[in-house]
Structure 1
Amino acid sequence: MTYTEVQNALDRAVTEHGVPGIVAEIRHGDQSWFGTAGVADLTTGAPRVPGEHLHTGSSGKAFTAATLLTLEAEGRLTLDDTVEHHLPGLLTNGYDGTRITIRHLLSNSSGLFATGLAPEASHRYATRSGYARHHLDQWTREDLLKLAISQPPVFEPGTAFTYSNGGFYLAGAIIEKVTGNSYADEVTRTVIDPLALTHTHVRRPDESGYPHPHPRAYSALFLKDGTDPAAVTPENWQSLMEDPATPPLDVTELNTSLGWSAGDVVSTTTDMIRLISALASGSLLPEQQHHHMWTTISTEGGHWMPYARYGLGVFEFDRDITNGLILRGAGGSLWGSHTCTIATPDGDHAICLHTNTEWKTWDIVFDIVKAEFGKGM
């Protein structure tokens, strides 16, 4: 089996889209392949290598969803429990905790606003000068729960889709309330340990580095000088960004506690393939919970990835662009890192890709997936 087309797609990510370095690991049956393009370090020119520790961004939402689904299987909660039931009095500012369920939180259909655009957070990192002052700031659980409801609802629960980290902050708080344990401990108990993800961990609140080996992380995700972060919307944010030709900033040393239960997991491509293969195939969760995870909703109008439907912390590509092939996955992006892992429903064929910069374009993902799975994406 050859991977020339995948390698060509990796090369294009560097030459055409300006990615500093990219890797892809593939597992198909008992065969595996690892390919790279670009570099791990722009200063030294060091290559990217297997086994690198990577920030998985919003792929952490899959860990959160799997943890809550395990708690449901254990009889400790149900997906139709309301936020008010577990966190009484927490939701204000127009949110009705008696109408928002755990299922709504995990499917991004709760009506919570797009938390990533909250000025209280974005102003700290929106410009290079702001990033320099705030990149080691530590966010507490209380900070994040306040942030989640700092703007009013954008729709009635269950009626639409908006990608909201805030819903997953609430999900993390419910995990802690129900179990009496930390979010990190429960993710380890229910997901990391059962799957033997030996190079995966939820980051500590004060953590800002990575185990060896790891690539340097580079970001160009900054607003133009003088831009008011409060003016940024899902519709206009791209037009307010810096010139793409501006040299990237090294953001390897970064406190990512802003992610918490919405995505603050460090892993490797090998471990992520093991995770997503298990979630896609149903080998981690009982049948009922597996069905819940992959019951998807439309993301149309939600300013998210095109040609995909959202489950619980995971996505499934629209079958009309894959010639009927079912492809399931999880992904995430933040300053200096973008990860996407995709598998077939039997878990037998999977790919994980990572760039040491944030999301540039969906063309990179679709180009690589098309090269590997050979479908009309």
Structure 2
Amino acid sequence: MLQLEAEGRLSIEDTVEKWLPGALDVNGYDGKKITIRQLLSNTSGLFITGLAPELSERYATRATFAEHRFDSWTVDELLALTVSQPPIHEPGTAFAYSNGGFYLAGMIIEKVTGNTYAEEVARTIAEPLGLTHTYVRPADETGYPEPHPRAYSSLFLKDGVDPADVTAGNWESMFEEPGLPLLDTTEYNSSWAWSVGNVISPTSEMIKVCDAFVSGSLLPEAQHRAMWSLVSTEGAHWMPHASYGLGVFELDPAVTGGHTLRGLGGSMQGSHFAVVGTPDGEQTIALHTNVEFRTWQVLFRPLEAQFGLPAVPGV
């Protein structure tokens, strides 16, 4: 998106209404008040799409996951998911991580360019950085190029829990107790993630992506500054001790011993990934687990070891 701005094809201050007229005319949203910048910084006011009952009902329990693991989602279905519940705050007033903002961004990219989101990721990121094994996963793909690890999950709701009752504040108590057998989730259709980050890549190439994003070597200076215009995530039930830019995060210097540490990451069934580096590109650390996110210790303990950080409080 920032590369398209650098090419003069859009502005991140453009509204959603400009590019997707009428797309947000439902459930109290107003596309004339929400900008591309707010979509990318998760300050749009969109509800937390990952908690939508329409999504969690398909994957929330072991039984429903088995039934729906090969479901393919269309862009129209993802748009419907994005606006299926009302806003949680006014645009620009707070941070709340919402996959729906990235769905809308993907739709705008396709509208502006006439290309698919996957083609634009290849043109603006993979090809300039020489990434030969990084691509957006096609909607009908359910496996991975060899070699790859098996993926496993035990992050399922307890029997009898209604997904509609799960909130950002109570979700941990709703899940199965630890110690149950892992479910192999390797063969799985992840098209629900689409432009949220449904990307196949080895850690070696994601290190190159992080270095480019953090150092500014990929984008012009104005767009690089925009990427790292940070908002607070305090109170948002998200990563502790972090601020958020446009699809990226920066750790609080108060807990990093004064180091500037920036990165990106994500998690889905059977996979958790993060990569963090210094702006000079001299130190970057990437991690991938073949289970989904469970604790921030998986990220912060290696950072403490690599960068000599003090133990991060509350992690």
Q: TM-score, normalised by structure 2?
A: 0.98
Shift of 1:224: 0.5
Q: Structure 1, residues 272-299: CA drift from partner, whole Å, max 9, x if none?
A: 0000001100000000000000110000
- What does residue 289 of structure 1 align with? 223
- What does residue 6 of structure 2 align with? 73
Shift of 1:106: 0.1
Shift of 1:309: 0.3
Q: Which of 76, 79, 104 is the matching residue for 2:38?
A: 104
User: How does 1:202-221 map onto structure 2 within 5 Å?
Assistant: 202-221=136-155
Q: Structure 1, residues 302-343: CA drift from partner, whole Å, max 9, x if none?
A: 111000000000000011001111000001011000000001
Does residue 349 (structure 1) correspond to residue 283 (structure 2)? The answer is: yes
Shift of 1:143: 0.4
- What does residue 325 of structure 1 align with? 259
The 4+ residue runs of structure 1 with deviation greater than 6 A are none
User: How does 1:1-377 map onto structure 2 within 5 Å?
Assistant: 68-91=1-24, 92-376=26-310, 377=312
Say how many residue pairs are matched. Answer: 310
**C-alpha separation in 2, matches of 1:350 and 1:233:** 34
SS in 2 for 1:354: strand
The runs of 5 or more residues in structure 1 that have no matched partner are 1-67
**Larger RCO, structure (CA 8 Å, separation 6 or more):** 1
Residue 73 of structure 1 aligns to which amino acid in structure 2?
A
**C-alpha separation in 2, matches of 1:348 and 1:179:** 35
**C-alpha separation in 1, matches of 2:215 and 2:75:** 33
Residue 114 of structure 1 aligns to which amino acid in structure 2?
I
Residue 171 of structure 2 aligns to which amino acid in structure 1?
W
**C-alpha separation in 2, matches of 1:93 and 1:112:** 11
**C-alpha separation in 2, matches of 1:227 and 1:89:** 35
Shift of 1:87: 0.3
SS in 1 for 2:214: helix
SS in 1 for 2:164: helix
**C-alpha separation in 1, matches of 2:9 and 2:157:** 44
SS in 2 for 1:321: coil
Shift of 1:373: 0.6
Shift of 1:366: 0.6
**C-alpha separation in 1, matches of 2:58 and 2:275:** 30
**C-alpha separation in 1, matches of 2:288 and 2:184:** 17
Q: TM-score, normalised by structure 1?
A: 0.82
